[in-house]
Homo-oligomer: A and B are copies of this chain.
Amino acid sequence: MENSGHQLRCTGCGRVSEQRELKADFRCPDCGDLYEVVYPSWSAGFAAAEEKKPNASALRWLWKERCSSNEEADQSGVWRFRELLHILRDEKNIVSLREGNTPLYSLRRTARSTGIAKLYAKHQGMNPTGSFKDTGMTAALSVAYELGYEWVACASTGNTSAAMAAYAARAGMRSLVLIPQGKIAWGKLSQAIDYGALTIQLRTDFDGCVRVLAEIVRRAPVYLLNSVNPYRLEGQKTPALEIAEALEWEVPDHVIVPGGNLANSSALGKAFLEMKHLGLTARLPKISVIQAEGANPLYRAMRENGGEALYPVEAHTRASAIRIGNPASWKKAVRVIRETGGWCEQASEAEIALAKAEIGEEGIGCEPASAVTLAGLKKLVREGKVQSQETVVLLLTGHTLKDSDYTIAYHRGDLLRPDEVGALRTEIEVTRRNAVEMDASADLVLRELERAKER
């Protein structure tokens, strides 16, 4: 079979394409919209085209069994679910770094403060390169490898370039990162460089980089791994499978995700819809998307026109991973929010910072973009949209090490302006722990310990 049982279908006009046509920019030639992966055989009942025709119970058992295997594909938290990722012709082309299988932590302290007893964090920052991008990258890069590409490329200065460079290196392939000059976050780029990527600063802005990249993938055999690549979303489905599995195939009432480029909400929504369709689960969770106030185009679209039209904004937030004013996957995200009955909320800079500190106090470090989920949950609880007896999963997308400057700035008191703190002042003071300075005296240190106990 040419494409291993899947098709690419335009989310705008429904045009169906075969994989090989799409080596350029992954946009529909008819309407310009994005593609998604679909599995035609599933419409006639799952795995009609398969020889073994496994049913839902058999799949659940098989996926768990693979956790005890020493095989590389089985040890991946993405590829052990490969029956729902029919995107390769041959499993030997899997390029893996042992991604996925991330922890679902119960949040005990935050459960008390929010009044949600069954509150969990699914920590995608525990992936090999420290962000959720790895689950999507193992999928899309394996496709590139199977198609015989030597080079892959993206325009990014953050988590995407790190993941792409790592998987390309793992496959023995080469990677190209285009960056707008002067906008380099060296800390975030350090990983891509460490993994051997060729990083080129262009004298232009981000959109200029995207334009140059589009020309490059048309003219040279370079495979595009920006978020328009539909195979990335197939890999990013798997956290949903892991969540359901960890909860014994009872889906949570709510899954709350950060909203930047909106690929996460799209991928998780697709996964929960497919699981229900295949009889793996009985119902859908409500999927809600939380944006930063300064980068809230979806929030505005939902509020102003019910998600019919999205107007790009100039994005400003210290949560750099969701600093996106023109999200690629917004239509997919709107569909997921509608189909699951979720909401879109926004959080202020102070709410994000406080939420990150609260998650940290659970012993769980995340980058600021991840913490919008807790900030958003608090609002949904106040608005009565999330009830105290419901089960809630927050999706954390990046590791705290991805942005240590942010953590330090918060705890030294340099992050927030007085006007940003507002009513949260007292709570923020409690979570902030400055490094205290004193003479080397046990008496003084013991006195400080006593003081800390009162906090």
In the complex, which of the residues A189, A191, A209, A435 has the most CB atoms of chain B within 10 Å of its own CB atom? A435
Q: Are B407 and A363 in contact (CB under 8 A)?
A: no
Which residues of A from 102 to 121 have beta carbons under 8 Å from B?
103, 105, 108-109
**CA gap between A151 and B445 in the complex, in Å:** 13
A231 at the interface (CB under 8 A from B): no
Chain B residues near A196: list those with CB within 8 A. Answer: 357, 360-361, 431, 433
Asked if A408 lies at the interface with its beta carbon under 8 angstroms from chain B, I say yes
Q: Do B401 and A191 touch (CB < 8 A)?
A: yes
- CB contact under 8 A between A220 and B365, given known A108-B172, A404-B186, A440-B208: no
Q: In chain A between 171 and 186, which residues have their CB closer than 8 angstroms to a CB of chain B?
A: 171-172, 174, 176, 178-179, 181, 184, 186
Residues 56-85 of A contacting B (Cβ, < 8 Å): 64-65, 67-68, 70, 75
A448 CA to B67 CA, complexed, in Å:
43
| Interface size range on A against B | 35 or more
Q: Which residue in chain B gives the minimum CB-CB distance to A165?
A: B363
A439 near B: Cβ within 8 Å?
Answer: yes
**A88 on the interface (CB 8 Å rule)?**
no
A444-455 vs B, CB cutoff 8 Å, 1 = contact: the mask equals 011011001100
Within 8 A of B (CB), among A359-400: 360-365, 399-400
Q: How far is the CB of A56 from chain B (nearest CB, A)?
A: 18
Q: Is the CB of A408 within 8 A of B151?
A: no
A178 B445 Cβ-Cβ under 8 A: yes
- Verify B436–A212 contact, CB threshold 8 A: no
A437 to B180, CA, bound (A): 10
Give the contacts of A147-190 with B (CB-CB under 8 A).
Answer: 151, 165-172, 174, 176, 178-179, 181, 184, 186-187, 189-190
Q: What CA separation (Å) do A130 and B130 show in the bound complex? A: 9
* Cα–Cα distance between A248 and B151 once the two chains are bound (Å): 36
Tell me the nearest residue of chain B to A101, going by C-beta. Answer: B101
A254 within 8 Å of B (CB atoms): no
**Which of B169, B193, B220, B411 sits near A408, CB closer than 8 Å?**
B193
B216 x A446 contact (CB < 8 A):
yes
Q: Given that A67-B68, A363-B168, A440-B212 are contacting pairs, would A433 and B201 also be in contact in the complex, using a CB cutoff of 8 Å?
A: no
In the complex, chain B residues whose CB is within 8 Å of the CB of A361? 169, 195-196
Do residues A184 and B435 form an inter-chain contact, with CB atoms below 8 A? yes
A445–B344 Cα gap in the complex (Å)?
A: 40
Tell me whether A199 and B433 are in contact in the complex, defined as CB-CB below 8 angstroms, given that A97-B103, A194-B365, A449-B222 are known contacts.
yes
Q: What copy number does this chain have within its complex? A: 2
The answer to whether B128 and A103 touch across the interface, beta carbons within 8 angstroms, is: yes
- Distance between A181 CB and nearest chain B CB, rounded to angstroms: 6
Q: Quick check: is A246 within 8 A (CB to CB) of the other chain?
A: yes
> Hey, which chain B residues are within 8 Å of A201, CB to CB?
435-438
| A125: nearest chain-B partner, CB-CB | B128
State the CA gap A183–B373 with chains docked (Å).
Answer: 35
Contacts of A399 on B, CB cut-off 8 Å? 130, 401
Complex: A441 Cα to B203 Cα, angstroms: 9
Distance of A1 from chain B, by nearest CB (Å): 30
Which residues between 246 and 271 of chain A lie within 8 Å of chain B, taking CB atoms? 246, 248
The docked-state distance in angstroms from the alpha carbon of A357 to that of B442 is 43
Additional A-B contacts beyond A64-B68, A202-B438, A204-B440 (19; CB < 8 A) = A68-B68, A70-B246, A98-B105, A108-B172, A130-B401, A169-B360, A190-B407, A193-B407, A196-B360, A201-B435, A201-B438, A202-B440, A204-B439, A209-B440, A212-B440, A216-B449, A222-B449, A401-B401, A401-B402
C-alpha spacing A438/B200, complex, angstroms: 7
Which residues of B are found within 8 Å of A212, using beta-carbon distances? Answer: 440-442, 445
A304 is an interface residue with CB less than 8 A from chain B: no
- Chain B nearest CB from A186 CB (Å) reads 5
Residue of B nearest to A102 (CB): B98
- Given A68-B64, A437-B203, A195-B408 contact (CB < 8 Å): no
Question: Which single residue of chain B is at the shortest CB-CB distance from A246?
Answer: B70
Across-interface contacts of A179 in B (CB, < 8 A):
435
